[in-house]
Amino acid sequence: MSPRFQRRGMPAGDRASFPDAGLPALLADLYVRRGMRGDETDLSLRRLSPPTLLRGAGEAACLLADALADGKHILIAGDFDADGATSSALAKCALLACGAARVTTLIPDRFSMGYGLSPALVKYAAGLSPDVLVTVDNGIASVEGVRLAREYGWRVVVTDHHLPGDTMPPADVIVDPNQPGCDFPNKALAGVGVIFYVMMRLRGELRARGWFEQRGIAEPNLASLLDLVALGTVADVVPLNHQNRILVEQGLRRIRAGECRPGIRALFQVAGRDPATAVASDLGFSIGPRINAAGRLEDMSLGVECLLAGDEQTALRHASRLDELNRQRREVESDMVDEAQRILDGLDPSRGRTFGISLYESHWHQGVVGLVASRVKTRFHAPVFAFARDGSGGLKGSGRSIAGVHLRDMLDRIDKLSPGLIGRFGGHAMAAGLTLPAEGFDAFSSLFDRVVREQLGGEPIGETVYTDGELPGDALDLRTAELLRYAGPWGQDFPEPLFEGDFEIITQRIVGERHLKLIVQAVGDGGETTLDAIAFNHPELPRTTFARLYYRLDVNAYRGNRSAQLIVEHIVA
């Protein structure tokens, strides 16, 4: 089903609501269409909500300050994704800078322990003999794990950003902007943002106690940790509201100024990206996946070690290994997506359209099934679950959804229709996970298709692609491309501008085996200006002279030369 294209509307009010008279009209219009207010153009740190508003942060700061004073061993329990890795690295860096005697990081093994502070992870952690356990990017749902940690006699601080369940974990302190009774205005903080706020409260608490003067410790500049905050926030695909855009932009400014840590600089190097021109998409599509590859294929501890590396040589060694793992991940993902396509091509057409797609092959890699679900969801614009064996004879599934289908609600519905079919499940509207017995796949597949079909009323939802209209021919230049590139940070819920227009196709060829390289000229452009354009994973066009392109205007840097380039998302020939 081809997407439907719709231009973004202009809400009540116009660019005149922006107080900065020097703001280009193009940007003002783009901002207004995204619901941005004029005062949100200010991305300075002074616009951040104060940490005093975050429930539990003050109590956590007091507990940690006491632990520092008593020389306690603090264990940081993270998660096996980029948000968990950056959160773990940030917590350790900040605590050590504040004078902590001993800080250890621990990431669960994805394949044997699963997500969060599980009892298995706590039992393993007991061998490290911690006094205080701090969770980062997890813990709000780890009721049994927290209970076991308390039974060991540890103090427990949960810092998380996920939605809590019906039962809260019995921690000493919980810091989560989404917990009941928390009035913190930014509910969309990533896990790394939450622990950053906790560390700000800790610094303030230590300052009030005279800790730094008494110990002769320089008060740490926590802004130096914003490169980690930016990376974790973008990689976790949380909404880039004004508060998160501040955190990301401030981190990007440090990266562009060469003030980031060696691990992030090394990751830019192995990715072939220039940190001096870094934008959010570099973090999301180049740096984040390399960190995530460790958790998907091996052990996220490698990602944390890279981020904590104190010198360039060590950082580059870790970054090179992460780059190697990411190449392996891409190969595994590509093979699995191809197999998924063959499965779908082999379905009996007489069955009609499948509304909820379930996919499984016994040899699939459980660390990659979420990526496969995402790729298939995008290709077919339907909710998808992909499954792999979990190592204990059962199946572990990861799902991705589309607007209009709340994935966790679908799992809850299936659980009520067939009690006992699903082992564990959780998630939210757009992503969820579950476990099944191996023999339960066919039953789940049928029920998932049924409940999605019912949710949609038997009518598939077509994809709607929102555009920002047409750019005039004289705006298709490097100046505009540079302006747009740094006008963000663009990302989740604050999408990069997508334009549309009619173009003459001058030449076309396939590069890199699967990408369509074009030279085009805007129709109606009175001059003879041509532009490079590229459509990733797009076949060669049938013989055609003209096409309507839906594109992003970006900067192409090649051998020291910079030029405007169209990144084509859709082609209507």
Q: Spell out a b/e string for 135-149, using b for 16 or more CB atoms within 10 Å of the CB, else e.
A: bbbbbbbbbebbebb
Residue 349: predicted pLDDT: 65
Instruction: Identify the architecture of domain 47-322 in CATH.
Output: Alpha-Beta Complex (3.90)
| C-alpha–C-alpha distance, residues 76 and 156, integer Å | 10
Q: Is 30 left (phi over 0), alpha (psi -120 to 50) or beta?
A: alpha
Confidence of residue 13 (pLDDT cuts 50, 70, 90): low
Confidence of residue 240 (pLDDT cuts 50, 70, 90): very high
Confidence of residue 463 (pLDDT cuts 50, 70, 90): confident
Convert the pLDDT of each residue in 480-518 to its tens digit. 999 999 999 999 999 999 999 999 999 999 998 889 999
| C-alpha–C-alpha distance, residues 384 and 333, integer Å | 15
103 versus 25: the higher-pLDDT residue is 103
The chain-wide mean pLDDT, for the chain, equals 92
Amino acid at 272: G
Q: Which helix (H) or strand (E) holds 330?
A: helix 312-345
The radius of gyration computed from the CA coordinates of the chain, to the nearest angstrom, equals 25
183 pLDDT above the threshold of 70: yes
Same fold, 47-322 and 466-572: no
Average pLDDT of span 294-305: 92
DSSP letter, residue 113: T
Convert the pLDDT of each residue in 440-449 to its tens digit. 999 999 999 9
473 versus 394: the higher-pLDDT residue is 394
Confidence of residue 37 (pLDDT cuts 50, 70, 90): confident
| Tokens, residue 143 | 């009721």
281 pLDDT above the threshold of 90: yes
Q: Strand, coil or helix: what is 248?
A: helix
Amino acid at 459: E
Q: How wide is the angle at C-alpha 30 spanned by C-alphas 26 and 35, nearest 5°?
A: 145
Residue 46: predicted pLDDT: 95
Confidence of residue 116 (pLDDT cuts 50, 70, 90): confident
Q: Which helix (H) or strand (E) holds 207?
A: helix 191-208
Q: Which helix (H) or strand (E) holds 242?
A: helix 242-256
**Cβ atoms within 10 Å of 500's Cβ, excluding its own:** 19
- From edge to edge, which strands make up the β-sheet containing 431-437? 357-360, 384-389, 394-400, 431-437, 425-427
Every domain of the chain and the residues it spans: 47-322, 347-455, 466-572
Residue 335: predicted pLDDT: 94
**Cβ atoms within 10 Å of 539's Cβ, excluding its own:** 11
Residue 159: predicted pLDDT: 98
Confidence of residue 351 (pLDDT cuts 50, 70, 90): low
350 versus 226: the higher-pLDDT residue is 226
Confidence of residue 171 (pLDDT cuts 50, 70, 90): very high
**Which of 204-218, 311-325, 432-446, 520-534 comes out lowest in average pLDDT?**
520-534
**Which of 41-45, 121-125, 188-192, 346-350 comes out lowest in average pLDDT?**
346-350
| Statement: 347-455 belongs to CATH 3.10.310.30 | yes
Q: Strand, coil or helix: what is 347?
A: coil
Residue 155: predicted pLDDT: 98
Residue 504: predicted pLDDT: 93
Place of tokens 């190697």: 324
Confidence of residue 27 (pLDDT cuts 50, 70, 90): very high
Residue 477: predicted pLDDT: 94
Whether the CB-CB separation of 238 and 244 falls below 8 Å is answered with: yes
326 pLDDT above the threshold of 90: yes
| Tokens, residue 96 | 């050590």
| C-alpha–C-alpha distance, residues 455 and 497, integer Å | 31
330 pLDDT above the threshold of 90: yes
Whether the CB-CB separation of 137 and 87 falls below 8 Å is answered with: yes
Whether the CB-CB separation of 534 and 516 falls below 8 Å is answered with: yes
22 pLDDT above the threshold of 80: no
Convert the pLDDT of each residue in 75-94 to its tens digit. 999 998 999 999 999 999 99
Residue 69: predicted pLDDT: 97
Residue 525: predicted pLDDT: 66
Residue 124: predicted pLDDT: 96
pTM summary value: 0.92
- Class of 466-572 in CATH: mainly beta
3-state secondary structure 161-182: CCCCCCCCCCCCEEECCCCCCC
**Cβ atoms within 10 Å of 353's Cβ, excluding its own:** 14
Convert the pLDDT of each residue in 381-416 to its tens digit. 999 999 999 878 899 999 999 988 999 899 999 999
